[in-house]
Amino acid sequence: MTIPFPMSLLAELTHRCPLQCPYCSNPLALENVRNELPTDVWMRVLNEAADLGVLQAHFSGGEPMARKDLPELVRGAAKAGLYVNLITSGILLDEASFIPLVDAGVDHVQLSFQDVTPEGADLIGGMKNAQGRKLEAARVIVAQGVPLTLNFVVHRLNVERIPQMFDLAGELGARRVEIAHTQYYGWGLKNRATLLPTRAQLEQSEKDVASARARFGREMAIDFVTPDYYADEPKPCMGGWGQRFINISPSGRVLPCHAAETIPGVSFPTVLKDSLESIWTKSDLFNRFRGVDWMPAPCRTCDRREEDWGGCRCQALALLGDASATDPVCRRSPDRGLIDAAIAESADAPLIYRRMSNHKS
């Protein structure tokens, strides 16, 4: 099998974050600041990524603006020819912190909002008065002329406010909006019973997004991520394992997706030991679920096997304890009943916030 060139690098610079969202995509075992990669290693890695074919670098976290060397890293990525996307909560973003990033060559900002109401935002972020800072961050970004995407993660507690989310995006001058239903891994899985929307809510969210598309036309790009629990077929996670996407953790582990650290029995490759090229092409982790040869039945003979690539490995692991099983979201999976049971189990339980102290390993 020929190995494709990767398109996209998600650089998780740190797990430090002022927010504590209960669906955070970071692993349950958060990385301590003293294990974070130093500037010079990131600079080498960014150049290796560009040489390997990566076109876009996404600086994320945690909160990437917690890294003091972010302007230097942005400059390094831009110099390597990478398109630089900043994925931020906006809590630390003001004119003084943003202008150095603009000067360094940041191309685009994706700013997260937890809700449109201050109360809803505080409840999810676990921080008082976050919303005002985010609104101010959006104004600073737009005033600097940098294209802005607003990202809303939606779930049972805020999904009914999608129309107001689009109103806010229009008022702030965002060029793109992402409405992303929560994905249930790690922290999200811990809070699934509280966050999973009902089928009626999902259907309403589809209608609300369709109306927004009609309202804004080509003035606003809209991305909509549906919750796969209500689908009949799994999503092609990351466009296929080791096909397009590289994730690097704060300590330098190189992963095919941000949840892959949960997979047992593999040694995780790290940029401290190997080049990105060697990890991408030769490591056991990247080759383990690449292509179709690893697939179990019913995927192996399925006519969708090169469309959804067997679905999400981390979801199979999290729900079935086996990363090489068919994603249980699929109607053809013998374990689909687990998903239907989860849908039936939703209940209003207190949220478990993303904090080091909320994970006992």
Partner 1 sequence: MSADLEARIPGFLRGVRLQRDRVRDQWIVQAPERAFIVDTIAASILQRVDGDATLAAIIDALATAYDAPRDVIARDVIDMVEDLTARQVLVCKS
H or E segment to which residue 286 belongs: helix 284-288
∠11-239-279 over CA atoms, to 5°? 50
Which stretch, 103-111, 124-132, 193-201, 318-326, contacts partner 1 (CB under 8 A)? Answer: 103-111
Question: Three-class SS of residue 258?
Answer: coil
- Of 57, 138, 24, nearest to 90 by C-alpha is 138
Give the Cα separation of 35 and 310 in Å (integer).
Answer: 34
* Of 56, 97, 164, 226, the one binding partner 1 by CB under 8 A: 56
Give the Cα separation of 317 and 308 in Å (integer).
Answer: 17
Using the minimum distance from each CB to partner 1, give the nearer residue, 83 or 230: 83
Q: Write out the E strands in the chain.
A: 8-12, 56-60, 83-88, 108-113, 148-154, 176-181, 221-225, 245-248, 254-255
Using the minimum distance from each CB to partner 1, give the nearer residue, 243 or 315: 243
Per CB under 8 A, 103 contacts partner 1:
no
Site string for partner 1, 205-244 (x = CB under 8 A): -------------x--x-x---------------------
Per CB under 8 A, 264 contacts partner 1:
no
Using the minimum distance from each CB to partner 1, give the nearer residue, 68 or 218: 218
CB of 19 to partner 1, least distance (A): 22
Site string for partner 1, 59-88 (x = CB under 8 A): ----------------------x-x-x---
∠133-137-143 over CA atoms, to 5°? 145
* Of 14, 25, 88, 149, the one binding partner 1 by CB under 8 A: 149
Give the Cα separation of 132 and 91 in Å (integer).
Answer: 9
Give the Cα separation of 197 and 280 in Å (integer).
Answer: 37
For residue 9, the cross-strand partners are 57, 246
Which stretch, 70-78, 104-112, 234-242, 320-328, contacts partner 1 (CB under 8 A)? Answer: 104-112
Per CB under 8 A, 145 contacts partner 1:
yes
> Which residues from 159-198 bind partner 1, rule CB under 8 A?
175-176
* Of 118, 120, 126, 147, the one binding partner 1 by CB under 8 A: 147
- Of 152, 169, 275, nearest to 224 by C-alpha is 152
Site string for partner 1, 271-310 (x = CB under 8 A): ----------------------------------------
Contacting residues toward partner 1, per CB under 8 A: 5, 7, 51-53, 55-56, 81, 83, 85, 107-108, 110, 145-147, 149, 175-176, 218, 221, 223
